[in-house]
Amino acid sequence: MVYLKSAEDLLAEGNLPGMEEGKTPSGYGTIEPGEVDLVIVGAGPAGLTAGIYAVRAGLKAVVLEKHIVGGQVALTPVVENYPGFVSVPGKQLMDIMSQHAREYVPVHEGESVDAITLGDLTKDETITVTTSRGKYSTKTVILTTGASYRKLGATGEDTYFGRGINYCASCDGYLYKGKSVAIIGGGNTALTDALHLKNLGVNVSIIHRGDTFRAQKPLQDSVEHEQIPVLWNTVVEEIEGDGRRVSNLKIRNLMTQTVTDLPVDGAFVAIGQKASTGLAKSIGVELKEDGFVKVESDMRTNVPRVYAAGDLTGGLQQIVTAIGEGSIAAMSAFEDISHPYWKK
Protein backbone atom coordinates (compact mmCIF):
# COMPACT_ATOMS: atom_id res chain seq x y z
CA MET A 1 0.00 0.00 0.00
CA VAL A 2 2.88 2.36 0.71
CA TYR A 3 4.40 1.79 -2.72
CA LEU A 4 1.06 1.46 -4.56
CA LYS A 5 2.59 -1.53 -6.35
CA SER A 6 2.10 -5.26 -6.01
CA ALA A 7 4.61 -7.30 -4.04
CA GLU A 8 5.35 -9.24 -7.21
CA ASP A 9 6.36 -6.06 -9.08
CA LEU A 10 8.54 -4.89 -6.21
CA LEU A 11 10.14 -8.33 -5.97
CA ALA A 12 10.99 -8.23 -9.69
CA GLU A 13 12.49 -4.75 -9.28
CA GLY A 14 14.48 -5.78 -6.22
CA ASN A 15 12.92 -3.03 -4.11
CA LEU A 16 11.63 -5.02 -1.15
CA PRO A 17 13.39 -5.08 2.24
CA GLY A 18 16.16 -7.64 2.41
CA MET A 19 16.95 -7.36 -1.30
CA GLU A 20 19.54 -4.60 -1.31
CA GLU A 21 22.33 -6.41 -3.14
CA GLY A 22 22.14 -9.29 -0.70
CA LYS A 23 22.86 -7.03 2.27
CA THR A 24 22.08 -8.59 5.64
CA PRO A 25 19.32 -6.60 7.39
CA SER A 26 20.62 -4.61 10.34
CA GLY A 27 17.58 -2.76 11.64
CA TYR A 28 17.24 -2.53 15.42
CA GLY A 29 20.57 -4.10 16.26
CA THR A 30 21.24 -6.08 19.42
CA ILE A 31 20.86 -5.67 23.15
CA GLU A 32 22.98 -6.99 25.98
CA PRO A 33 21.62 -9.74 28.25
CA GLY A 34 19.69 -8.29 31.15
CA GLU A 35 16.11 -7.52 32.18
CA VAL A 36 13.40 -7.82 29.54
CA ASP A 37 9.68 -8.44 29.43
CA LEU A 38 9.79 -11.24 26.88
CA VAL A 39 12.33 -13.66 25.43
CA ILE A 40 11.35 -15.33 22.16
CA VAL A 41 13.31 -18.48 21.39
CA GLY A 42 13.44 -19.11 17.64
CA ALA A 43 13.44 -16.71 14.68
CA GLY A 44 11.16 -18.39 12.18
CA PRO A 45 7.89 -16.79 11.00
CA ALA A 46 6.23 -17.33 14.40
CA GLY A 47 9.11 -15.88 16.41
CA LEU A 48 9.62 -12.85 14.20
CA THR A 49 5.91 -12.06 14.22
CA ALA A 50 5.77 -12.44 17.99
CA GLY A 51 8.61 -9.93 18.27
CA ILE A 52 6.80 -7.35 16.14
CA TYR A 53 3.53 -7.67 18.06
CA ALA A 54 5.21 -7.70 21.47
CA VAL A 55 7.15 -4.48 20.90
CA ARG A 56 4.16 -2.75 19.35
CA ALA A 57 2.27 -3.66 22.53
CA GLY A 58 4.93 -1.90 24.58
CA LEU A 59 6.99 -4.87 25.74
CA LYS A 60 10.78 -4.98 25.83
CA ALA A 61 11.57 -8.15 23.89
CA VAL A 62 14.41 -10.02 22.23
CA VAL A 63 14.39 -12.82 19.65
CA LEU A 64 17.11 -15.46 20.01
CA GLU A 65 18.08 -17.84 17.20
CA LYS A 66 20.89 -20.38 17.49
CA HIS A 67 21.10 -20.97 13.74
CA ILE A 68 19.90 -18.80 10.85
CA VAL A 69 16.82 -16.61 10.79
CA GLY A 70 13.90 -18.19 8.97
CA GLY A 71 13.99 -21.79 10.10
CA GLN A 72 12.78 -24.34 7.53
CA VAL A 73 11.34 -21.61 5.30
CA ALA A 74 14.80 -20.16 4.68
CA LEU A 75 15.88 -23.55 3.32
CA THR A 76 12.86 -23.88 1.01
CA PRO A 77 13.84 -23.15 -2.61
CA VAL A 78 10.48 -21.66 -3.64
CA VAL A 79 7.35 -20.67 -1.68
CA GLU A 80 4.19 -20.48 -3.77
CA ASN A 81 1.37 -20.43 -1.24
CA TYR A 82 2.18 -17.35 0.83
CA PRO A 83 -0.43 -14.63 0.17
CA GLY A 84 0.98 -11.62 -1.66
CA PHE A 85 3.66 -13.56 -3.54
CA VAL A 86 2.85 -15.89 -6.42
CA SER A 87 6.37 -17.24 -6.14
CA VAL A 88 9.26 -16.22 -3.90
CA PRO A 89 12.45 -17.96 -2.73
CA GLY A 90 12.09 -18.98 0.91
CA LYS A 91 15.32 -17.25 1.90
CA GLN A 92 14.19 -14.00 0.31
CA LEU A 93 10.80 -14.15 1.99
CA MET A 94 12.47 -14.62 5.37
CA ASP A 95 14.90 -11.76 4.65
CA ILE A 96 11.88 -9.52 4.11
CA MET A 97 10.23 -10.72 7.33
CA SER A 98 13.51 -10.42 9.20
CA GLN A 99 14.12 -6.84 8.17
CA HIS A 100 10.57 -5.93 9.11
CA ALA A 101 10.98 -7.52 12.54
CA ARG A 102 14.36 -5.87 13.10
CA GLU A 103 12.70 -2.47 12.77
CA TYR A 104 11.05 -3.25 16.11
CA VAL A 105 12.95 -5.92 18.00
CA PRO A 106 16.57 -7.08 18.34
CA VAL A 107 17.07 -10.42 16.59
CA HIS A 108 20.20 -12.27 17.73
CA GLU A 109 21.48 -14.91 15.32
CA GLY A 110 23.95 -17.46 16.64
CA GLU A 111 22.80 -17.07 20.24
CA SER A 112 21.71 -20.43 21.59
CA VAL A 113 19.58 -20.91 24.69
CA ASP A 114 21.31 -23.30 27.06
CA ALA A 115 18.74 -23.38 29.86
CA ILE A 116 15.52 -21.84 31.13
CA THR A 117 14.99 -21.59 34.89
CA LEU A 118 11.51 -20.79 36.18
CA GLY A 119 11.46 -18.46 39.16
CA ASP A 120 9.07 -18.97 42.07
CA LEU A 121 5.68 -17.90 40.74
CA THR A 122 4.28 -17.27 44.23
CA LYS A 123 7.08 -14.80 44.92
CA ASP A 124 6.83 -13.05 41.54
CA GLU A 125 10.34 -14.17 40.66
CA THR A 126 11.35 -13.76 37.03
CA ILE A 127 12.37 -16.44 34.57
CA THR A 128 16.09 -16.78 33.85
CA VAL A 129 17.10 -17.59 30.28
CA THR A 130 20.76 -18.60 30.05
CA THR A 131 22.31 -18.28 26.59
CA SER A 132 25.70 -18.46 24.95
CA ARG A 133 26.05 -14.68 25.59
CA GLY A 134 24.78 -14.39 29.14
CA LYS A 135 21.57 -14.37 31.17
CA TYR A 136 18.24 -12.68 30.57
CA SER A 137 15.81 -12.01 33.40
CA THR A 138 12.38 -12.08 31.79
CA LYS A 139 8.71 -12.00 32.75
CA THR A 140 7.60 -14.31 29.94
CA VAL A 141 8.97 -16.71 27.31
CA ILE A 142 7.60 -17.70 23.91
CA LEU A 143 8.98 -20.94 22.45
CA THR A 144 9.05 -21.00 18.64
CA THR A 145 11.79 -23.61 18.22
CA GLY A 146 10.02 -25.34 15.33
CA ALA A 147 10.21 -28.87 14.02
CA SER A 148 12.11 -30.74 11.33
CA TYR A 149 10.93 -33.26 8.75
CA ARG A 150 12.15 -36.80 9.21
CA LYS A 151 14.25 -37.86 6.23
CA LEU A 152 14.47 -41.17 4.43
CA GLY A 153 18.23 -41.22 4.31
CA ALA A 154 18.09 -42.41 0.71
CA THR A 155 20.83 -41.55 -1.77
CA GLY A 156 19.87 -38.43 -3.72
CA GLU A 157 17.38 -37.14 -1.14
CA ASP A 158 19.34 -34.00 -0.31
CA THR A 159 20.46 -33.49 -3.91
CA TYR A 160 16.89 -33.29 -5.19
CA PHE A 161 15.28 -31.48 -2.27
CA GLY A 162 13.02 -28.83 -3.80
CA ARG A 163 13.61 -30.33 -7.23
CA GLY A 164 11.23 -33.25 -6.99
CA ILE A 165 11.71 -34.31 -3.38
CA ASN A 166 9.17 -32.61 -1.13
CA TYR A 167 7.99 -32.89 2.47
CA CYS A 168 4.76 -30.88 2.42
CA ALA A 169 1.91 -31.87 0.10
CA SER A 170 -0.28 -28.93 1.11
CA CYS A 171 2.63 -26.61 0.20
CA ASP A 172 3.84 -28.12 -3.08
CA GLY A 173 1.19 -30.54 -4.29
CA TYR A 174 -0.31 -28.10 -6.78
CA LEU A 175 2.95 -28.15 -8.76
CA TYR A 176 2.34 -31.79 -9.72
CA LYS A 177 -1.14 -31.55 -11.19
CA GLY A 178 -1.32 -34.03 -14.06
CA LYS A 179 2.03 -35.59 -13.11
CA SER A 180 3.10 -38.78 -11.34
CA VAL A 181 4.35 -38.76 -7.76
CA ALA A 182 4.93 -41.22 -4.95
CA ILE A 183 3.96 -40.70 -1.31
CA ILE A 184 6.42 -42.41 1.03
CA GLY A 185 4.93 -43.40 4.37
CA GLY A 186 2.04 -45.24 5.98
CA GLY A 187 0.64 -43.01 8.71
CA ASN A 188 -2.12 -40.41 8.83
CA THR A 189 0.00 -37.76 7.13
CA ALA A 190 0.97 -40.02 4.23
CA LEU A 191 -2.58 -41.10 3.48
CA THR A 192 -3.97 -37.59 3.93
CA ASP A 193 -1.33 -36.29 1.52
CA ALA A 194 -2.13 -39.02 -0.99
CA LEU A 195 -5.84 -38.16 -0.93
CA HIS A 196 -5.04 -34.46 -1.21
CA LEU A 197 -2.86 -35.02 -4.27
CA LYS A 198 -5.43 -37.32 -5.84
CA ASN A 199 -8.02 -34.59 -5.43
CA LEU A 200 -5.68 -32.14 -7.19
CA GLY A 201 -5.47 -34.42 -10.21
CA VAL A 202 -2.07 -35.92 -9.44
CA ASN A 203 -1.31 -39.50 -10.45
CA VAL A 204 -0.26 -40.71 -7.01
CA SER A 205 0.91 -44.01 -5.52
CA ILE A 206 1.96 -44.89 -1.97
CA ILE A 207 5.20 -46.60 -0.94
CA HIS A 208 5.07 -48.19 2.50
CA ARG A 209 7.70 -50.34 4.20
CA GLY A 210 5.07 -52.35 6.12
CA ASP A 211 2.25 -54.65 5.13
CA THR A 212 -0.45 -52.61 6.90
CA PHE A 213 -1.06 -48.90 7.36
CA ARG A 214 -0.69 -47.15 10.71
CA ALA A 215 -3.25 -44.55 9.65
CA GLN A 216 -6.78 -44.27 10.96
CA LYS A 217 -9.33 -46.63 9.43
CA PRO A 218 -11.39 -43.90 7.65
CA LEU A 219 -8.27 -42.74 5.83
CA GLN A 220 -7.46 -46.31 4.80
CA ASP A 221 -11.00 -46.75 3.53
CA SER A 222 -10.75 -43.52 1.52
CA VAL A 223 -7.46 -44.60 -0.09
CA GLU A 224 -9.04 -47.90 -1.07
CA HIS A 225 -12.15 -46.15 -2.39
CA GLU A 226 -10.03 -43.79 -4.50
CA GLN A 227 -8.11 -46.81 -5.84
CA ILE A 228 -4.72 -45.32 -5.01
CA PRO A 229 -2.04 -47.96 -5.73
CA VAL A 230 0.03 -49.11 -2.77
CA LEU A 231 3.47 -50.73 -2.93
CA TRP A 232 3.62 -52.76 0.28
CA ASN A 233 6.80 -53.93 2.03
CA THR A 234 8.81 -51.53 -0.10
CA VAL A 235 11.51 -48.96 0.61
CA VAL A 236 13.21 -46.30 -1.50
CA GLU A 237 16.89 -47.10 -2.02
CA GLU A 238 17.91 -44.25 -4.30
CA ILE A 239 16.46 -41.12 -5.89
CA GLU A 240 17.60 -40.52 -9.47
CA GLY A 241 17.32 -37.65 -11.90
CA ASP A 242 19.11 -35.61 -14.53
CA GLY A 243 20.78 -33.32 -11.99
CA ARG A 244 17.92 -30.84 -12.19
CA ARG A 245 14.75 -32.84 -11.52
CA VAL A 246 13.76 -36.22 -10.12
CA SER A 247 12.85 -38.81 -12.75
CA ASN A 248 13.07 -42.20 -11.04
CA LEU A 249 13.02 -44.01 -7.70
CA LYS A 250 15.01 -47.16 -7.09
CA ILE A 251 12.75 -49.22 -4.84
CA ARG A 252 13.40 -52.51 -3.05
CA ASN A 253 10.83 -55.07 -2.01
CA LEU A 254 11.67 -56.18 1.53
CA MET A 255 10.16 -59.63 1.02
CA THR A 256 11.89 -60.59 -2.24
CA GLN A 257 14.82 -58.10 -2.06
CA THR A 258 14.10 -57.29 -5.71
CA VAL A 259 15.16 -53.80 -6.81
CA THR A 260 13.05 -52.14 -9.50
CA ASP A 261 12.54 -48.69 -11.06
CA LEU A 262 9.56 -46.45 -10.43
CA PRO A 263 9.50 -43.53 -12.90
CA VAL A 264 8.06 -40.43 -11.20
CA ASP A 265 8.03 -36.65 -11.54
CA GLY A 266 8.45 -36.24 -7.81
CA ALA A 267 8.02 -37.78 -4.38
CA PHE A 268 6.63 -36.61 -1.04
CA VAL A 269 8.33 -37.95 2.07
CA ALA A 270 5.63 -38.28 4.75
CA ILE A 271 7.24 -40.18 7.59
CA GLY A 272 6.61 -37.56 10.24
CA GLN A 273 8.22 -34.57 11.88
CA LYS A 274 10.25 -34.21 15.03
CA ALA A 275 9.45 -31.20 17.20
CA SER A 276 12.34 -29.37 18.85
CA THR A 277 10.99 -29.81 22.37
CA GLY A 278 14.19 -30.04 24.41
CA LEU A 279 13.73 -26.69 26.15
CA ALA A 280 10.00 -27.18 26.55
CA LYS A 281 10.42 -30.54 28.27
CA SER A 282 13.18 -29.21 30.53
CA ILE A 283 10.72 -26.81 32.20
CA GLY A 284 7.77 -29.18 32.38
CA VAL A 285 5.77 -28.05 29.37
CA GLU A 286 3.14 -30.65 28.50
CA LEU A 287 3.38 -32.43 25.15
CA LYS A 288 0.64 -34.03 23.06
CA GLU A 289 0.64 -37.69 22.10
CA ASP A 290 2.31 -36.83 18.80
CA GLY A 291 5.24 -35.20 20.59
CA PHE A 292 4.33 -31.58 19.85
CA VAL A 293 3.74 -28.92 22.51
CA LYS A 294 0.20 -28.72 23.82
CA VAL A 295 -1.23 -25.21 23.80
CA GLU A 296 -4.61 -23.59 24.33
CA SER A 297 -6.18 -21.37 21.68
CA ASP A 298 -4.35 -18.40 23.25
CA MET A 299 -1.00 -20.19 22.85
CA ARG A 300 -0.57 -20.62 26.61
CA THR A 301 1.12 -23.83 27.73
CA ASN A 302 0.44 -25.58 31.03
CA VAL A 303 3.35 -23.61 32.53
CA PRO A 304 2.32 -20.05 33.45
CA ARG A 305 4.31 -17.32 31.61
CA VAL A 306 5.47 -19.81 28.94
CA TYR A 307 3.86 -19.82 25.49
CA ALA A 308 4.49 -21.72 22.27
CA ALA A 309 3.76 -21.02 18.61
CA GLY A 310 4.52 -22.23 15.09
CA ASP A 311 5.56 -25.71 13.98
CA LEU A 312 6.43 -26.62 17.57
CA THR A 313 2.71 -26.92 18.29
CA GLY A 314 1.97 -29.29 15.37
CA GLY A 315 -1.25 -28.88 13.41
CA LEU A 316 -1.25 -27.50 9.87
CA GLN A 317 2.33 -26.18 10.08
CA GLN A 318 2.20 -23.51 7.41
CA ILE A 319 3.85 -20.09 7.30
CA VAL A 320 0.51 -18.32 7.65
CA THR A 321 -0.55 -20.37 10.68
CA ALA A 322 2.84 -19.82 12.34
CA ILE A 323 2.45 -16.07 11.87
CA GLY A 324 -1.04 -16.15 13.35
CA GLU A 325 0.09 -18.17 16.35
CA GLY A 326 3.08 -15.89 16.90
CA SER A 327 0.87 -12.81 17.08
CA ILE A 328 -1.56 -14.53 19.47
CA ALA A 329 1.26 -15.70 21.74
CA ALA A 330 2.70 -12.18 21.95
CA MET A 331 -0.66 -10.64 22.83
CA SER A 332 -1.31 -13.34 25.43
CA ALA A 333 2.06 -12.57 27.02
CA PHE A 334 1.21 -8.87 27.06
CA GLU A 335 -2.18 -9.55 28.63
CA ASP A 336 -0.72 -11.86 31.27
CA ILE A 337 2.00 -9.41 32.27
CA SER A 338 -0.72 -6.81 32.82
CA HIS A 339 -3.27 -9.15 34.41
CA PRO A 340 -1.68 -12.46 35.52
CA TYR A 341 -4.38 -15.14 35.21
CA TRP A 342 -2.59 -17.34 37.76
CA LYS A 343 -3.29 -14.79 40.50
CA LYS A 344 -7.05 -14.95 40.08
Q: Which residues are catalytic?
A: 168, 171-172
| Other beta carbons less than 10 A from residue 96's beta carbon | 21
CA distance 14 to 75: 20
**Among 178, 152, 179, which Cα is nearest to 165's?**
152
89 φ/ψ sector (left φ>0, alpha ψ -120 to 50, else beta): beta
Q: Are 147 and 159 in contact (CB under 8 A)?
A: no
Yes or no: say if 306 and 290 are a contact pair by the CB < 8 Å rule: no
The neighbouring-strand residues paired with 248 are 240, 263
